[in-house]
Amino acid sequence: MTERPAPLSPDQLHALDREAMEASEAGFHGKDVKRNRWAHRTVGVVLAGGLSRRMGGQDKAGVQICGKTMLELTEARLAPQVGTVIINSNGDADNLATNRPVIGDVMEGFVGPLAGILSAMRWAQVHTPDAFWVVSAAVDTPFFPNDLVDRFIMAMGGPEPCIVLANSGERSHPVFGLWPITLADSLEAFLKRGDRKVMLWAEEHLNSRAFFNGPVLDDDIEIDPFFNINEPDDVAVAEVIAEELAQMEELAQMSETEE
C-alpha cells in the first residue's frame, strides 16, 4: 500500500514554521537546534531512474548492502529529514520493495537526474502543495549526511528561491540538492531546450553550496559521505562502511541513553 502524506491545517503549518524559525534563531546564540525542523515544507525524492550500465544492468535500487537494499538504506536515511519520500524510477514499480509513491519521469528519453527532480516538483505541486522544496538523493549513495536537509536550508542565505548543492572535499555532488518548487517551470523549459546538465541549470538561478565532512573511522580515515556505489566492486567497500557506521551510531545512542 502506497503511503500518502497527511495534509496539515493552516494553523499547524503556521505553528511549525514559527517553531522552525525560532529554532534557527536559537542556533545563532549557540543553543541546541531542533533537527529536521523544516521537514513539513520538504519532499524528498530518491533518484533511482538511472540505467545502471556500470552495474551490469542490475537495478541499483535492489542491490543489497549488509542485508538491506540500497533503496531501503536511502529511504531510511532521508525519511526523518523530510515530510514525505517519493521514489523516481523508470522501471517496473512492482519490482521495488517500497510502500512509498513511485513516479516515473514526466519527460521521455532518460534525460538524466533533472528529469527526476522535475517529476518530483510536479508531484509535490499536486500532492503536497504546502511544500517549498524538493530535496534529491541518489539511490546509489546511501551514506549521505543525516543533517543534509537542515544544512541545505541553512546554506540558502536569504528569502529568494535558491538552489543549494552538496559539496564534500573539493567535489560537488549536484545530484544531492535542494530545489525550490517555484522553479519547476524554469526547469521544464530548460529540459525542453535539450539541455541536461545540472550545474548549467543551477547557474541560471541564485545558488549556493553546503559543505560536508564525512565520518572518521579508526580515528584517521575520513569517509566521503557521498561515496557512490557504481560498480560491483564498490559493494564490498560499502558493506565495510555500513558496518562501521552502524557501530558508531549504536555507540552514540548508548552515550545519549547514559546521559
In terms of DSSP bridges, do strands 221-222 and 84-88 run parallel, antiparallel, or are they unpaired? unpaired
| 175-186: pLDDT as tens digits | 999 999 999 999
Give the rounded percent of residues in the chain with a pLDDT score beyond 70.
88
Q: Is the pLDDT of residue 9 over 70?
A: yes
What's residue 52's pLDDT?
A: 58
What's residue 118's pLDDT?
A: 98
More confident residue, 27 or 193: 193
Which residues have C-beta within 8 Å of that of residue 128, sequence separation ≥ 6? 5, 43, 83, 84
Across the range 207-227, mean pLDDT stands at 85
Burial class (CB in 10 A: 0-12, 13-18, 19+), 142: buried
> 191 lies in a domain?
yes
> 15 lies in a domain?
no
Q: Is the pLDDT of residue 232 over 80?
A: yes
Across the range 158-175, mean pLDDT stands at 91
**Residue 168: which pLDDT band, with cuts at 50, 70 and 90?**
very high
Where helices occur in 128-231 by DSSP H, the ranges are 148-154, 184-192, 198-202
Residue 143 belongs to a domain with what CATH number? 3.90.550.10
Across the range 62-82, mean pLDDT stands at 95
What's residue 110's pLDDT?
A: 79
**Domain count of the fold of the chain:** 1
What's residue 206's pLDDT?
A: 96
Q: Is the pLDDT of residue 55 over 70?
A: no
> 196 lies in a domain?
yes
> 211 lies in a domain?
yes
* Structural domain of 172: 33-258
> 100 lies in a domain?
yes
Q: What is the mean pLDDT of the chain?
A: 88
Across the range 8-31, mean pLDDT stands at 80
What's residue 92's pLDDT?
A: 78
Q: Is the pLDDT of residue 1 over 50?
A: no
What's residue 26's pLDDT?
A: 63
> 18 lies in a domain?
no
Give the rounded percent of residues in the chain with a pLDDT score beyond 90.
59
> 5 lies in a domain?
no
> 169 lies in a domain?
yes
Alpha-carbon distance of 123 to 103, in angstroms, equals 8
Alpha-carbon distance of 218 to 57, in angstroms, equals 35
